[in-house]
């Protein structure tokens, strides 16, 4: 017999005993009273246990965490390509502790179309135009209880030619339009996208990039009031298009020396900083001229994935 039924039976006996006692006042009233008290005690205990059980069911329910992640960098740095490969890799592979889904149709269509075009040597998507932006949605299921709903902001950065001119003129532009700055402020993590293609062609590029990213941190400092503390938002510096290094006979250490000021500034001001050398694909020599025109077909692309998902797992470890 179930506990609940036993308790009901005991309580009925107690009730019956109480009625008998009221009418006949028999000698066995202490026994009846003891049964009644035990029954009432057990019923209260049962109620208490039931409440605790329902409370623990609530605790086991899925916990949803919303996060924004901003990717910051000049126009043409490779931000959109990186985002597309990152989402595609996360959703197509299986991981021990995580499952990834793209809940939004636009995100799914855009990533799929881009990858298919690349494999089929169809025209690549043109770079994100100035003042344009996209948000990509990613759901991350961690274990049985946690869902992270991540919104990636991928907004066009300033055109580097305009930026260089403004820098030389003495009043540098900002790397991103002010609307995106609000999104950056609300973000749980920041990704700084460094264009190694430009760095390898222009020895001033490290200076421009360093200035721009330091400016991002300074603006955050003035808004978030962490001037006297370390910035807690994790920052991941991505050296994108690292497949190009060998064409210029350069090594990662040369790049790190070139960006020493940026890395040491970030380490001084931010609690969590890391950097990765990232590549999504390699444009073979004879296709480079065409691909520079962005929307022309590129016939010789070799998928060359390096550190595409690693930065994201590092960031996720910091924001969870
Ligand atoms: N070699 C090489 N080129 C890349 C890579 N990723 C992007 N690119 C090139 O960079 C161009 C601009 O990339 P895009 O993501 O549109 O830049 P965004 O303006 O920062 O979003 C692309 O059209 C590619 O030609 C990469 O991993 N390796
Ligand atoms: Mg873009």
From 70, 76, 84, mutation site for ligand 1 pocket: most ligand atoms within 8 A of C-beta: 76
What ligand is nearest to the CA atom of residue 238? 1
CA distances for 265 relative to 191, 259, 270, angstroms: 15, 10, 8
User: How far apart (Å, rounded) are the C-alpha atoms in residues 42 and 10?
Assistant: 9
CB 194 within 8 A of CB 209: yes
The label of the residue with tokens 């990533």 reads 111
> What pLDDT digit, counting tens, does each position of 237-253 carry?
999 999 999 999 999 99
Q: How far is the CA of 146 from the centre of ligand 2 (A)?
A: 30
Which of 42-56, 97-111, 113-127 has the least mean pLDDT?
Answer: 42-56
Say if residue 50's pLDDT is above 90. Answer: no
Q: Quick one: fold of 68-319?
A: Rossmann fold (3.40.50)
pLDDT band (50, 70, 90) for residue 144: confident
Lining residues, ligand 1, CB within 6 Å: 73, 75-81, 124, 127-128, 156, 240-241, 243-244, 279-283, 291, 294
Nearest atom in ligand 1 to the alpha carbon of residue 127 is 16
Ligand 2 mean position, distance from CA 316 (Å): 22
Q: What residue owns the CA closest to ligand 1's atom 6?
A: 78
Position 52 scores a pLDDT of: 61
Q: Of ligand 1's atoms, which has the minimum distance to the CA of residue 294?
A: 23
Reply yes or no on whether the pLDDT at 287 is more than 60.
no
> For the chain, which residues make up each domain, given as ranges?
3-60, 68-319
255 vs 58: which has the higher pLDDT: 255
How crowded is residue 251: how many other Cβ atoms within 10 Å of its Cβ?
A: 11
Cα torsion 248, 236, 194, 82: sign:
positive
What is the tens place of the pLDDT at every residue in 193-242? 999 999 999 989 999 999 999 999 988 888 776 667 888 999 999 999 99
**71 CA distance to ligand 2 centroid (A)?**
10
Test site for ligand 1: of 74, 77, 81, most ligand atoms within 8 A of the Cβ? 81
Quote the tokens at residue 179.
Answer: 């609307």
- Residues 135/154, Cβ–Cβ less than 8 Å: yes
CA nearest to 3, candidates 51, 60, 50, 54: 50
């Amino acid at each position: 017999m179930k506990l609940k039924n036993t308790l009901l039976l005991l309580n009925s006996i107690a009730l019956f005993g109480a009625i008998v006692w009221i009418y006949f006042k028999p000698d066995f009233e202490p026994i009846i009273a003891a049964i009644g008290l035990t029954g009432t005690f057990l019923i209260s205990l049962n109620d208490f246990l039931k409440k605790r059980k329902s409370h623990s069911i609530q605790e086991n329910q899925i916990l949803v965490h919303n996060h924004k992640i901003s990717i910051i960098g000049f126009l043409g740095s490779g931000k959109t390509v990186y985002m597309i490969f990152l989402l595609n890799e996360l959703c197509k592979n299986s991981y021990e502790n995580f499952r990834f889904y793209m809940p939004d149709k636009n995100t799914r269509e855009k990533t799929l179309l881009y990858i298919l075009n690349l494999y089929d040597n169809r025209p690549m998507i043109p770079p994100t135009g100035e003042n344009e932006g996209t948000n990509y949605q990613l759901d991350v299921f961690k274990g049985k209880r946690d869902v992270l709903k991540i919104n990636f902001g991928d907004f066009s950065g300033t055109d580097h030619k305009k930026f260089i001119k403004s820098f030389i003129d003495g009043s540098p532009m900002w790397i991103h339009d002010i609307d995106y700055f609000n999104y950056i402020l609300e973000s749980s993590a920041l990704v700084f996208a460094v264009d190694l293609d430009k760095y390898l062609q222009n020895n001033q590029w490290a200076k421009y990039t360093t200035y721009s990213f330091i400016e991002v941190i300074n603006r955050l400092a003035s808004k978030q009031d962490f001037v006297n503390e370390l910035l807690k938002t994790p920052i991941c510096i991505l050296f994108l298009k690292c497949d190009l290094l060998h064409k210029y006979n350069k090594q990662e250490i040369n790049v790190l020396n070139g960006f020493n000021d940026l890395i040491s500034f970030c380490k001084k001001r931010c609690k969590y900083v890391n950097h990765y050398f990232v590549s999504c694909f390699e444009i073979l020599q004879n296709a480079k001229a065409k691909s520079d025109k962005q929307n022309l077909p590129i016939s010789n692309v070799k998928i060359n994935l390096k550190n595409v998902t690693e930065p994201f797992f590092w960031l996720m470890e910091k924001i969870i």
